[in-house]
Chain A
Amino acid sequence: MLTAQWLYGISACLILALGLRATLLHTSLLRRIIAINIMGTGVFMMLVIIAYRGPDAVPDPVPHALVLTGIVVAVSATALALALLRRLNTEKADD
């Protein structure tokens, strides 16, 4: 096993767990949206490190393509979540 693999692999798991913990513990919805984004980053990192084959080898392109798709979907989901949050705030303000 390469050093980079376990180093980044374990960090990916840590980032995911930290993000999940914050998603569950925060009461502010905006903070939860940020936490879910960080959690998603952990998943992306797992995929990229699975694709990694060492500093001189060509990595597997399939997980890279998946992560690329994931990043764009994550940002659009974040945008939708922020729009929901905004609507929620205006509803609260109207009450």
Chain B
Amino acid sequence: MIDLFSSIFMLSGIIFFLAGSIGLLRLPDLYSRLHALTKADNLGLGLLLVGLALHMQQPLFALKLLLIWLAVLAAGSASAHLIAQHARRQEADQ
């Protein structure tokens, strides 16, 4: 039962990951790519980690996974904002 749930979580996480990557590759400009990427891969990682956490024997490891996800989430959104800001500044300079 746990195996089934964890598999569903992990596989749907991978689908989000791939959606984000394909968006990064196919969308026409930086801002729309950013849009696709930040949502998809953070959610994808979250789902993947939930799936993996169901397998962890020690609760400490599961806690660590949660911590890492929070770090990726906060860092990812801030980085994306900074990169967009940087791109805007470059455009303004030209």
**Direct A–B touching, Cβ under 8 Å:** no
Interface residues of B (CB under 8 A from A): none
Interface residues of A (CB under 8 A from B): none
